[in-house]
Structure 1
Amino acid sequence: MSRVLVLRHGESTANVAGIIVSRPGPRALVEVGLTDRGREQARAAAEASGLGADAILVTSDFARAAETAREFADVLGAAEPIIDRRLRERSFGIFEEGPAAAYAQVWAADAAGEHPGDGVETTLDVAARALAALADARASAQSSGGAPVVLVAHGDVLQILLTVAAGEPARSHRSQPHLGNAELREIPAARPGA
């Protein structure tokens, strides 16, 4: 079974400003990219990864993730990252462009099994699209002779993916250790029959 890893984007301008940017559009797709520190984080993650030029990078099309994937791929000498919109940031609906402090409110609702707010994407919806992206990534790795695959995305999306891949309910995603900027983690191999 090929290795599949997840990589959270490096520090973004939204991280520094402390705001939520989750809606597809010019802000997310173009304007809110990496800081200089974020680019350095992505490059350092690649250098420490032990991966080679055969790695396949699959990324969200949001600027902060796509820029992270390109920096990571450049260090490895890997091919241009593949865009997969299923890896986009979780939609935070009514909290869009508001303070990042609202994440705690959403996460508390998630854990309680309550709807997290108007227009906020549920953990089950995020899990469904992230698992579909993971399945395609595993298939791509197998068809390429077992090359490792790195999924580059956003904190909530990857926390939820790691949680469901571990067999836990999506709503308990905050029980996973927090993924820092440009942190790389491996997803355990799929269990037989899973």
Structure 2
Amino acid sequence: MVAIISCMITTLFLRTAAVAAASSSRAFFASASSLSYPSSGFVVLPIRSGGAHTRHDFVATAATIRRRSNNAQHRLASSSSRFGSSSLSLSSNTVYSTINELPLPLPSLNNYYYLLRHGQSTANVDGIISSSRDLAYSTRHGLTLLGIRQGKEAASSLLDLIETDIQNSLNTNNEVPESTKRVYFYSSPFARAKETAEACRTRLSLSPESIQRTQAMGLQINPAIAYHDGLMERYFGRLDGKELSTYAYVWPVDMFDPTHTAFDVESVAAVCNRIRATLLEIDSRHVGEEDGSSGGGNHIVLTSHADVLQITQVYAAGLDNVGRFSQYRFGNGEVRRMGRTVESLPEAKPLEPPKRGE
């Protein structure tokens, strides 16, 4: 009897709190006005019929939130000590359902890493989610003229970061060797990322101002850009091609459960696992004798997408809840150093709806 009463009280409390939070919250996305993200952390989910949004998805998502709300912090704090592996192919639109755990913490790396988000793309302007694996190595959803300019402008910010690292000799974790002054570009095979990497690298090599700075620092810019499937956009399953407002069905839930795959999205845990594998692979490439840097110390630029880079930065920094990655959003054409401490992260901002064109 005591257990039954306790359960009833808990259920009543959650419903009351959710209603109270919803009444004081602002609309999360304009086109999903029945879904709001209150400051208290409750998420009010609508039940819709038809289209790609099934009742099962929303019921499952709501159940996830109820199940995780009381013990999320405990679970996420302990999950970093567990490892989940997968041999999923990234070349097809796979339903990511086999990654049930976050990977081990990222070990110390031998090189300096910089995270560059693509510039404005045609998909950004159209206001749609663009994550299909069919876009890899295609020309679709490339950069706008503004996006190309943003890619070029990123070169100056990148040089600022590299210059600081050279002056300090070590990066923020004090565990990489002296800089080799070699710069390498890696990119997602999606057109918007490839074109951004090309715009940034070209500016470094051809702009008189950039040439002057690179020569003063003694930098050697590798002319080739390597494309890596591990840097692809996070796959959004049945939400791919939908309007940006449908991110509201995923991001808030990521905070409670980084392993969820509602709407067949690629989970945060899956992204963490592939990013870990990608970083370790790239790092090992630049520690061997083939590029003359047996001890590492190279400057490596990873050009990718907002969700992937945000997840990468919080995972690399050791944030206790990687599901909160969306509070550290990258702007178009923004470049950041990949820090290895929580203190290296920018200030967290409340979850905001993405705007058309961003």
TM beyond 0.5 = yes
Quote the Cα distance in structure 2 between the aligned partners of 1:41 and 1:141. Answer: 28
Deviation (angstroms), 1:67:
0.7
Quote the Cα distance in structure 1 between the aligned partners of 2:322 and 2:135. Answer: 29
Query: Equivalent residue for 2:240?
Result: 96
Decide whether the 8 Å contact of 1:107 with 1:116 is kept in 2.
Answer: no
Q: Which amino acid aligns with 1:61?
A: P
Q: What do the CA deviations read for 1:126-156 (whole angstroms, capped 9, x no partner)?
A: 1111121122232334344222000000000
Query: Equivalent residue for 1:110?
Result: 254
Q: Does 1:165 align with 2:293?
A: no
Q: Which amino acid aligns with 2:252?
A: A
Seen in structure 2, the aligned counterparts of structure 1 residues 26 and 107 have a Cα distance that, compared at 3 Å, is: closer
Q: Which amino acid aligns with 2:130?
A: V
SS of residue in 2 equivalent to 1:25: helix
Deviation (angstroms), 1:102:
1.2
- 110-119 or 2-11, which moves further after superposition? 110-119
Quote the Cα distance in structure 1 between the aligned partners of 2:186 and 2:136. Answer: 21
Q: Does 1:85 align with 2:229?
A: yes
- What does 1:14-163 correspond to in 2, within 5 Å? 14-26=123-135, 29-50=138-159, 51=162, 54-77=182-205, 78=221, 79-113=223-257, 115-143=260-288, 144=291, 145=293, 146-163=297-314
Point out the structure with max Rg over C-alpha: 2
Decide whether the 8 Å contact of 1:57 with 1:80 is kept in 2.
Answer: yes
Question: With structure 1 as the length reference, what TM-score do the two structures score?
Answer: 0.89
Quote the Cα distance in structure 2 between the aligned partners of 1:70 and 1:81. Answer: 7
Quote the Cα distance in structure 1 between the aligned partners of 2:121 and 2:287. Answer: 32
- 107-116 or 161-170, which moves further after superposition? 107-116
Q: Which amino acid aligns with 1:94?
A: R
Deviation (angstroms), 1:170:
2.7
Quote the Cα distance in structure 1 between the aligned partners of 2:126 and 2:182. Answer: 36
SS of residue in 2 equivalent to 1:150: strand
Deviation (angstroms), 1:160:
0.6
Could you say which structure has the greater relative contact order, defined with CA pairs below 8 angstroms and 6 or more residues apart? 1
Decide whether the 8 Å contact of 2:111 with 2:283 is kept in 1.
Answer: yes
Quote the Cα distance in structure 2 between the aligned partners of 1:130 and 1:36. Answer: 30
SS of residue in 1 equivalent to 2:139: helix
Deviation (angstroms), 1:27:
8.1
Decide whether the 8 Å contact of 1:46 with 1:73 is kept in 2.
Answer: yes
Identical pairs, percent = 33
Unaligned runs of 5+ in 2: 1-109, 164-180, 206-220, 342-358
Q: What do the CA deviations read for 1:54-113 (whole angstroms, capped 9, x no partner)?
A: 310011000000111111111123312101001000000111110011112210111121
Decide whether the 8 Å contact of 2:131 with 2:234 is kept in 1.
Answer: yes
SS of residue in 2 equivalent to 1:80: strand
Unaligned runs of 5+ in 1: none
- 3-12 or 74-83, which moves further after superposition? 74-83
User: How many residue pairs were aligned?
Assistant: 189
